[in-house]
Amino acid sequence: LNRIQYETVEILQERDQLTQQNRNLVFIFVGILMIGLLLFVIRMQRSRNRELLLKQAQQKANEDIYNLMISQQNTIEESRIREKRRIAQELHDGVLGRLFGARLNLDSLNRVNSEDAAEKRNAYLTELKNIEQDIREISHDLNREKYVLINNFVAILNNLLEEQRSSFEPEVISTIDESIKWEELGNNLKINLYRIIQESLQNINKYANATIVKIVINQATEKLILTVTDDGEGFIVASKKKGIGLQNMVSRTQELDGTFDLRSKKRKGTTIVATFPIKNEGANAIL
């Protein structure tokens, strides 16, 4: 009987030890799992932070690029204004003065008692007065500063289109809605709009073999719509969706919470439509 009791006690002790060991293993497993989960969360957070920093750096780079483009355009506009002022001053101080002197001389000669000479001189005097008035109006028009920096983005875009026209064969027809208030649109929208047009033109030049390219920018209710159409060879859309250029255009559109639509058929050309929500940034936008 004592032996049975002894063996029973041993069995119970072994069972308790196994239970404790199992409990310890569970604690260890849960601890390892928690540590692993914590490390995963930390890694994901660091990855998100890096992605956020990258996006911020990209946005800063985009801002710098656009500011540089604006600065260059401003320099060009300032040079034009200075040159027009110089011409206006030259017209006003030089040519007008000489014409006025000539008119005075003719006026003094008008004392000659010849009716025919007097009539001709009067005609000359009238013509000189007309020339003076024309030059004065030109001078005043040149000196008026009607150049608003709001048009800088349109000027930059037109420069891109002129480069396209001079370097490649397709005829480029552009239509930009004059009612668009570019000064109220953020730089990020304008930068990405410019890049999408640039990427579209590059793709057309490389692959489309087009003769006509149409670029239309118009404004609907709270939306800015870009449409680029060519009459080139076209392609099967499904086979091109992984192209880097196309992915870049889609990514730029989505970055602005917009939608990107691509339509193309073999030998029937290609059309892309990028639609962006308009976010009024007012004073935060660079004109």
pLDDT tens by residue, 86-101: 777 666 666 666 677 6
Domain co-membership, 153 together with 218: yes
Token readout for 88 is 């206006």
Q: Looking at the DSSP assignment, which residues form a beta bridge with residue 218?
A: 225
**Quick check: 281 pLDDT over 80?**
no
Domain co-membership, 182 together with 98: no
Q: Strand locations in the chain, DSSP E?
A: 171-176, 212-220, 223-230, 259-264, 270-277
Domain co-membership, 130 together with 253: no
Domain co-membership, 206 together with 117: no
Count of domains forming the chain: 2
Rg (C-alpha) for the chain, rounded Å, is 38
Question: CB–CB of 121/109 below 8 Å?
Answer: yes
Q: Looking at the DSSP assignment, which residues form a beta bridge with residue 83?
A: none
Question: CB–CB of 132/140 below 8 Å?
Answer: no
Mean pLDDT of the chain: 80
Would you give the end-to-end CA distance of the chain in angstroms? 102
Domain co-membership, 153 together with 125: no
Mean predicted confidence (pLDDT) in 17-26 = 86
On whether the pTM is more than 0.85, the answer is no
Which CATH number covers residue 214?
A: 3.30.565.10
Domain that holds residue 195: 149-284
Domain co-membership, 234 together with 110: no
**Quick check: 140 pLDDT over 70?**
no
- Tell which of 143, 163, 190 closes a domain: 143
Domain co-membership, 157 together with 128: no
**Quick check: 135 pLDDT over 80?**
no
Question: CB–CB of 235/203 below 8 Å?
Answer: no
Q: What is the pLDDT of residue 105?
A: 67
* DSSP structure class, residue 211: S
Residue 269 contacts by C-beta under 8 Å, 6 or more apart in sequence?
208, 210, 229, 230, 231, 232, 233, 234
Q: What is the pLDDT of residue 284?
A: 42
Chain centre distance of CA 287: 12
Residue 279 contacts by C-beta under 8 Å, 6 or more apart in sequence?
185, 186, 189
Mean predicted confidence (pLDDT) in 23-27 = 88
In a domain, 13, yes or no: no
Band (pLDDT 50/70/90 cuts) for residue 282 is: very low
Higher-scoring residue by pLDDT: 283, 58? 58
Model pLDDT for residues 151-173, shown as the tens digit of each residue: 578 888 998 899 899 888 899 99
What gap in Å lies between CA 285 and CA 283, rounded to an integer?
Answer: 5
In a domain, 175, yes or no: yes
Token readout for 135 is 């030059």
